[in-house]
Structures are given as structure tokens and as C-alpha cells.
Amino acid sequence: MKVSKIKRPWVQEYKQRKYEPFYHSQQWRSIRKSFMLGYTTLEDGKLVPNNICIMCYKEGKTVAANTIDHKHRIKDGGDALDPNNLQALCRYHHDRKSSSEGHEMKDKMKKSN
């Protein structure tokens, strides 16, 4: 007896991400490491260590950052190795930012068609 897989339209299939060689390069690893050891200057002149999530800090919380994120995506023309284009984020804020960027791109694609 053959058992077939049940298709559930409300469950999305897992898609493996495309391999990005840049994020495994020595250049990215070294700039990421040096950025984590540095500080970011806020608009009011305060210095915030880059091992703290910048978004949480602005909300009045101190949460350890575990991701270095590009403020402007590389796909959208952001400089990949410019420290001024980097920010330290916790997983929560990185996932929210990435999700909103993905939805924006999806909406642009719908409008262009």
C-alpha cells in the first residue's frame, strides 16, 4: 500500500535559501567582527556599543545583538562593506525588518505587473 503526502494549502513548503557567497567571505567576516567591537553614534550624540540591538536600545531596552544587518539592502544598491550601512540587531528586530522588506518587494512586483 502506497501512502501519499497530504496537501494542505494553508501550510507553506520549506524552501531552502539561496547560497550567498558574500556572507561566507573573509571580507564580510572581518568587517562584521570589527563592527561588533565598535560603537554607533545616535542622532543625539550618544554612543551605543554595537553588541546591543540598536532598535531595542531606542525602545529603552538593553538586548544583546546577534546579527549585523545592512540598513539598505545590497540588492537595492546598499554598500556591502560600508560600516555606515551596518546596524546591530537582535533576532526579533532583524526578522521584522527582513519580513517587511520582503513584503515591500512583493508589493512592488504586484504593482509592476
The answer as to whether 2 is a domain residue is no
d(CA 107, CA 91): 24
Taking the mean position of all CA atoms in its chain, how far away is CA 43? 22
pLDDT digits (tens, 9 = 90+) for 14-49: 777 778 899 899 999 999 999 999 999 988 999 999
Q: Count of domains in the chain?
A: 1
The answer as to whether 40 is a domain residue is yes
Structural domain boundaries, residue 107: 22-112
pLDDT digits (tens, 9 = 90+) for 68-106: 999 998 888 889 999 999 999 999 999 999 888 888 877
The answer as to whether 5 is a domain residue is no
Per-residue model confidence (pLDDT) at position 18: 79
The answer as to whether 15 is a domain residue is no
d(CA 29, CA 35): 10
